[in-house]
Amino acid sequence: MAKLYFYYASMNAGKSTTLLQADFNYRERGLTTMLFTAGIDTREGAGTIGSRIGLAMPAATFDGDSDLHARIAAQHRDHPVGCVLVDEAQFLSEAQVDQLARVADELGVPVLAYGLRTDFRGALFPGSARLLAIADALIELKSVCTCGRKATMNLRVDEDGNAVREGAQTEIGGNDRYVALCRRHFCEAMRG
């Protein structure tokens, strides 16, 4: 029975690296995979899943209007898909998460979704909230705070390294814009 998996973590936990390793394992066994990433994230180039350790693979992109079930079902009819892997899953809509659940339930294809649990204010992303609600398996990937404790929060910082407390939920960036922290240090930074 295929399942919907949600691998979640703070920034810099190796989500994309883990996704690319899983993709390699499926392909090494001769199985076809489909990779998706958010079209809004162009840090590695449009339609590329890239990791901080230098691994990268091309991927199909999704935006708010993408019907992922239809795209996967069309591919699956012509060339059976062994696994679907989704990077930046926090940017999925609730409806798209439901579409991915249907891929697992109706098409029998496992779906591995990787993303952030919370934004820079500590609030759930809509896609992450839906994945936490309906995924068959929730797997937390670990990152480390500067104090050595488990990092669970994503602090957005300005060009001087100061905490950003307001703004749009989505702002693409890497180490220059975000710092993974434990809850204690995140709260201290947000209080100023």
* Cα-based angle 135, 145, 150 (whole degrees, multiple of 5): 45
Q: What is the pTM of this model?
A: 0.91
Residues forming a β-bridge with 6? 113, 138
CB distance 138 to 6 below 8 Å: yes
CB distance 36 to 68 below 8 Å: yes
At 19-71, the pLDDT tens digits run 999 999 999 999 999 999 998 776 676 788 888 788 889 999 999 999 999 99
CB distance 151 to 180 below 8 Å: yes
**Distance between alpha carbon 130 and the CA centroid of its chain, in Å?**
13
Count of C-beta atoms within a 10 Å radius of residue 75 = 16
* Residues taking part in catalysis: 88
Domains and CATH numbers, the chain: 4-142 (3.40.50.300)
pLDDT confidence tier of residue 1, bands split at 50, 70 and 90: confident
Length of the chain, in residues: 192
Question: 114 or 47: whose pLDDT is higher?
Answer: 114
